[in-house]
Amino acid sequence: MKKHLLLSCVCVIFACDQTKKSEMTETVAAPVAAIKPEKLEKHGDVRIDNYYWLNERENPEVIDYLNKENEYYQQCTAHTKEFQKELFEEMKGRIKEDDSSVPYLYNGYYYITRYEKGKDYPIYARKKGNLEAPEEIMFDCNDLAKGHSYFQLKGINISEDNQWAAFAVDTVSRRQYTIQVKNLVTGEVLPYKIENTTGGSTWAGDNKTLFYTRKDPVTLRSEKIYKHKMGNDVAKDELIFHEEDDTFNTFIYKEKSKKYLVIGSSSTLTSEYRILDAQTPDGEFKLFQKRTRGLEYDISHYGDKFYIVTNKDNATNFKLMETPEKATGMENWKDLLSHREDVLIEGVDIFKNYLVVSERSNGLNKIRIRPWDGSEEYYLPFDIETYTAYTTTNVDFDTDVLRYGYQSMATPSSVIDFNMKTREKTVRKEQEVLGGKFDKNNYEEKRVWATAEDGTKVPISMVYRKGIKMDGNNPLLLYAYGSYGASMDPYFSSIRLSLLDRGFIYAIAHIRGGEDLGREWYENGKLLKKKNTFTDFIDCSKYVIEQKYTSAQHLYAEGGSAGGLLMGAVVNMAPQLYHGVIAQVPFVDVVTTMLDDSIPLTTGEYDEWGNPNEKEYYDYMKSYSPYDNVTAQEYPNMLITTGLHDSQVQYWEPAKWVAKLRAVKTDKNQLYLDTNMDAGHGGASGRFEALKEVAKEYSFLLDLEGIQE
């Protein structure tokens, strides 16, 4: 057996009585994971994985190791426990506990989601006809969550006759939902359960046929569409569609016009749809346009046409096309909004009198209003560069009112109704920040541009309290994601105020791999260009240091999931830039995971990361995979979090990473693994339980800065 480097942590524990506080120190040994070498060979290359055994979820030795890591983390941070409680209460105190959503009208009912004081979970309700009508509580999740350490309800789907509500519940946090049906007239929940689904479902127009999607029980890939007839045994549900290509997922929904049921199949680069008249659920779905590798398209129905957002004809940033509903093959598609090199089309909302196009230009959201009658089109006006605007719940087809959301890094989120005919806007709700201390005029927000090593300009959005000096002494938390074309738009967070009000600058690096500056921004941060994501973040880090927003002694980095991969890569590549790093549910064992097609979601990821069964991709992945590139060097202070039941990034990736870091790194900086033994990828359920996890992260950062109040 090899010798291990035993790291120790000096834990300061405060013992208090009424008159004095005494300080004690105690040395706690870090856990040591057993070394059990596993030989992994591919393309003639041999890797020795000393901690491969940690993937045995049911092995008591694995659970024991995770528990010991948790105990170590708890002991070493015991001196911050009271501060964590203070942070939790502070963050909770800004949240309106008895909050409610802005009601929206659908099919004769106003639907509302609300919370009650002291309760963690939402209540879903509706009112018939008008907002003065009696409230009908459809689901009180506080009651449903009793007895469960984790609870999530999703996928509420109301039949067109307003009688039936399909809904789905996950009590494990593995995103395997159980669908049930409730009679909204009698209040009865029907006795049967549909297991292992995505949670989504769709009623046909007959109010008695329910379509839903089942997952592969091992890989968790969404692969089969079933049809359930009310009153029939679930075991006899009919398989309607099986997506056999393991790089694709499938799903089903109903068009906003209610005329068509739609089965979709999608991979990272390719789309395919099938349609069926919603009034004839026993009919056969018709192929809209067969899949062609590299052809992406989304469809929306209106009148006698379908409208298609697509990258057809090399439209990298997508364009909008139309086709007759009876002739849907792409040979019939005609341009409606042509492709533009500098404008990304992200989606459309269709109304009876208006087409609303969501665009992105120069990294900023744009909302374009286009009347169907050919009259003048226009954009909603926005004044600053650190905002986010997006269309929200627009389920009513026959209305002139567009509902959209708006927020910035210093401005709380608002829900706004905009009359597209009169151009009048009504703010239906602005997020309340309680406590009496928040004033958005006390904060500065700006967008700056860092220069990447290849000359590319990378935007950074930031917010901080006015008046701080840019002398290099400010703590700065730099966040990023940078994968899957997910744009990290500037957003407001009342929780974040706990950092800003203690002198932190908060910044978002809009690095390549996201779609912040268009489709090419994504294409240049994936597959064999993935390292641009990491070097962009490093160059953004160097920029905020050079501009004296902060220094390496006060710079912190954070990312989760694929953003956790980012964290793992940058601490290998440039550990000297950061004083501390938070990696949430990090995807760090890239090569081993992508070679294991039994792990949930792996095969569908080939278009994002590459298929390591091909040597070119194997070699490239291995060159940046955080776990494979841990080396004998000094690393920053690090807090790494995971969930035992995570379906997206398996718990053993961060567990193995921490074990290897402990054995190899040459510093005595803090290294913690915090495993939620009850939760998965999204962390704890319940709005206030989740705040406790944020309090842990913030106390980690603030403690490193010597801030304890």
Residues designated catalytic: 561, 646, 681
**Residue whose structure tokens are 């339980």:** 689
First to last CA, the chain: 45
Q: DSSP letter for 386, please.
A: S
Q: How far is CA 385 from the centre of its chain?
A: 23
Q: DSSP letter for 424, please.
A: -
> Are 550 and 705 within 8 A, CB to CB?
no
Which residues touch 232 (CB under 8 Å, ≥6 apart)? none
Which residues touch 616 (CB under 8 Å, ≥6 apart)? 528, 610
Kindly state the tokens that stand for 83.
């501060």
Counted residue by residue, the chain has a size of 709
Residue type, 331: E
Instruction: Give long-range contacts, CB 8 A cutoff, 24+ apart: 195-199.
Output: 197/168, 198/155, 198/222, 198/251, 199/154, 199/155, 199/168, 199/170, 199/175
For residue 654, give the 3-state DSSP assignment: helix
Which residues touch 588 (CB under 8 Å, ≥6 apart)? 564, 565, 568, 625, 626, 627, 653, 654, 656, 657
Which residues touch 163 (CB under 8 Å, ≥6 apart)? 183, 184, 185, 207
Dist. CA 365–CA 380, nearest whole Å:
10
Q: DSSP letter for 36, please.
A: -
Angle between helices 687-704 and 81-93 in degrees, nearest 10 = 130
Kindly state the tokens that stand for 403.
């509902």
Q: In what order do the strands lie in the sheet with 387-391?
A: 387-391, 401-408, 414-419, 425-430
Dist. CA 583–CA 91, nearest whole Å:
21
Q: How far apart, in Å, are the Cα atoms of 455 and each of 197, 449, 452, 516, 647?
A: 46, 11, 5, 17, 38
